A and B are shown apart, each in its own frame.
Chain A
């Protein structure tokens, strides 16, 4: 063990010894001084400390807020996120008032009604009126919160709009895989037993299904369009993961065998966020929010929010998974087509793909 560890242990032991000696000595002093006198003195000190704790605590709460508020993520970057932030502020105001009120009463009462020789405690076993008040008021307040909460909840979890961009996202230990349906706008069938990473089939697409031939599978980033609702179909290949999108305030588990969905509308492109946050390296990150094994903490994905035209350009450049798996069968895939050509041919496909088939 290193010197510093020994040093820390030595300091700790010494600290213990000192505290113990003081504590022990105070016990002897108490006996010599008289138990009653010591008790009264201790009571006064602790009564004062309770009041000090209340005041310093409230100052601390204010100070902590001033210090840390700039570090939380700023404005929500999706429409749903904005709703969640509104809900958050409503809840903050209501619970904040209750917090200050009850904490002040607690510590103030403790201080004010501390032991005094001549004080008689007030025999007050119950009072139906008071009890009714503090049953009914919380009940009403909570009804308000439940009302707001469910209003937003159903807006957020309701069906995705028909013009949503549908993207499939699949979690695996410890990365994210994204799939776009391709020109036919239909996801090809897949079966997990067909997964074969050596043969470039990470998701187990069934090549017998022609719909799978134009599906785009990528691990680079999840490209979505500013202002267009995006619906994520969420899968897992192994254990439970979770698609956590803190800037969009969204989250949904990825459960093997049971696909889940969530949708939202991004409000700012990645470029716009770079300017808004004054951070040239800004990225929308996907964090895995469900414990998934030793690489959980590093399971990161990137979402690129781009304009409609940039999205079409990006899409046109992507090779289908089929073309990657069987380069010999799709000759065009071997050498990328000239950019002008590819945009031209991809355009109608992109338009149709942007609209999900219901």
Chain B
């Protein structure tokens, strides 16, 4: 208890303060209306975050299981059979289950963690707080958005427990494999549940996205012009635009797939004879490639849906902790805008080797490599933001720096893959795995960690433990590079993705030792993520208390709210904004809040 006293001091009063922080929003709250069917954007953000964390643990665990197979293809693990039953007969992961694991790992991480868990959390949390609004445009729709996500999660989890197993055709679920139960066990009921779950997910994403857009456009506080918005908000805005315009296309692709599965249509099916039944199917005239167009019309914007919020948060955290304005604010906004536009025009670069017309392919090469220009602008602007700063290495800042490093590494290999002639060799090899895990997977996770460490004090009025944060950062960044960097070489050798055993291949079995190494590192990195999870939940209840409203010395509006903001965020009037969000180090002052009016003797303002 004495230790607790040292940590928290005599600080009961701040804790009590938040109870009268509701402003005009006084209403009786029950447990259900506060924690379950909450319409407070901050609570919904926490719901998204915690659901995302649970999904991340599950999705990460799946990767540990299949890395176990990849790293130790000859070993048996009898305890696996105890847990997984016939999926791990004799202690060996069965091929069907291996494919179910990689499929679920991809689906869960891409959609449930890095879309819902990332955008859902930070769009909800930051948009009203940083633009100066009491809540979202439609708190009710916002609540529905979470509960549709929850429903979608329940359906997806339930698919793990059915007899024939969950979907196993890869996270992209290309037909005909995903359309025909006789072609693969996972394409039976598991695939239906996958499609239903994803349809619910699309609904959730649309409800959220429309809300984010209308809130940002209509509910900014007085003085908060669009060009005074923090870059987080710009990034979340374009993320929502991407989602609203591309998720419906994905849904249409799924609906056609459902028709092909159950209504006897031939959208994607043609000329199929199945060896398992020794029967020819009646379907003729469909195009399996149509699905790929519909899928990637979302699938490519999806990677920016994942990446943009991370970029926005990194910009914000980097500027705050370098104690220096973000360099080239307008260029940063412009490059996010350019990425958003280009995101819709590059989808076929996933399809260079599907038999796509090479002439058409050449346009997609050009447009794809164009994305490197706004990306380069962003990187150089981040570098210049660090230059001559006075940098504080909080865990959030370290993750922001790590993000930039990973974004460079993974972005540059995008230039390889986007060039169709190189893609012929590298397509669907480990090079692709290395590329997208670094640039989209790990980098976005770094953005997410950056956000969690930075805004945890605002979420819970307590800090995460710093030491655990540093351990988390260093092991994760070293581990991520150790896991994914060598994979480029496997890809250069043409080693295909989605193989559970390479020992039968003269061309690829030279990487046995490397796979072993990668698997061990990935397990260590996974264990360290559990340390973060522990830190997260422990600190919600026992973390060091936040004692000032603005612990990071930040300019943005969320730090003008009480330490424990109630529903409605500000006590009394919403503050008025007088300047952009990045006046750090101006006129010798460390930071100038957005709410401070421009003074007469201030140097030329932005």
Contacts and interface: CB of A to CB of B under 8 A. Distances in A.
Real binding pair: yes
Given A99-B412, A246-B493, A257-B271, A109 B386 contact: yes
Contacts of B511: 71
A192 B7 contact: no
Interface stretch (A22-30, A218-226, A330-338): A22-30
A193 B505 CA distance: 33
B531 interface: yes
B478 interface: yes
Main secondary structure of the interface of A (DSSP, over half): helix
Contacts of B369: 142, 145-146, 149
A244 interface: yes
Interface stretch (B28-36, B126-134, B168-176): B168-176
B318 to A, nearest CB: 10
Given A23-B467, A61-B485, A119 B390 contact: yes
A55 interface: no
Contacts of A98: 408, 412
A42 B393 contact: yes
B576 interface: no
A319 interface: no
Interface in A51-74: 53, 57, 60-61, 64, 68-69, 71-73
Select the residue from B329, B505, B527 with max chain A CB neighbours within 10 A: B505
Given A99-B408, A106-B404, A113-B389, A123 B325 contact: yes
Contacts of A290: 174, 428
A135 B476 CA distance: 32
A64 B483 CA distance: 12
A110 B386 contact: yes
B421 A253 contact: no
A156 to B, nearest CB: 6
Contact of B362 (A122, A154, A257): A154
A297 B503 CA distance: 10
A102 interface: yes
B470 A46 contact: yes
A304 B258 CA distance: 42
B494 A20 contact: no
A138 B372 contact: yes
Contacts of A239: 174-177, 180, 183, 272
A307 interface: no
Contacts of A192: 271-273, 280
Chain A: interface residue count, which band? 35 or more
Interface string A230-274: 000010011110101011011111011111110000000000000
A19 B391 contact: no
Contact of A113 (B96, B390, B415, B466): B390
A292 B177 contact: yes
A211 B104 CA distance: 47
Contacts of A110: 386, 391, 393, 401
A106 B386 CA distance: 8
Contacts, number: 396
A152 B185 CA distance: 41
Contacts of A2: 77-79
A250 B273 contact: no
A292 B390 CA distance: 54
B438 to A, nearest CB: 12
B95 interface: yes
Interface stretch (A83-91, A181-189, A340-348, A350-358): A83-91
Given A28-B7, A126-B329, A156 B588 contact: no
Contacts of B497: 289, 291
B605 to A, nearest CB: 10
Interface string B470-487: 110010011001000110
A349 interface: no
Contacts of A282: 506
Contact of A138 (B373, B398, B466, B470): B373
B393 A43 contact: yes
A295 B95 contact: yes
A238 B275 contact: yes
Contacts of A287: 494, 496, 505, 507-508
Nearest to A84: B425
A195 interface: yes
Interface of B: 3, 6-7, 77-79, 82, 95-96, 99, 168-170, 174-177, 180, 183-185, 269-276, 278, 280, 284-289, 322-331, 353-355, 358, 361-362, 365-366, 369-370, 372-373, 376-377, 379-384, 386-393, 398, 401, 404-405, 408-409, 412-413, 415-416, 419-422, 424-425, 427-429, 465-468, 470-471, 474, 477-478, 481, 485-486, 489, 492-502, 504-508, 510-511, 514, 527, 530-531, 534-535, 538, 544, 582, 584-588, 606
A-B pairs, 4 with minimum CB distance: A246-B494, A257-B270, A260-B355, A297-B499
Given A1-B79, A289-B428, 16 more contacts: A24-B465, A68-B514, A71-B493, A103-B408, A106-B401, A109-B386, A116-B390, A121-B324, A127-B327, A130-B384, A173-B276, A197-B275, A234-B355, A250-B425, A257-B286, A288-B496
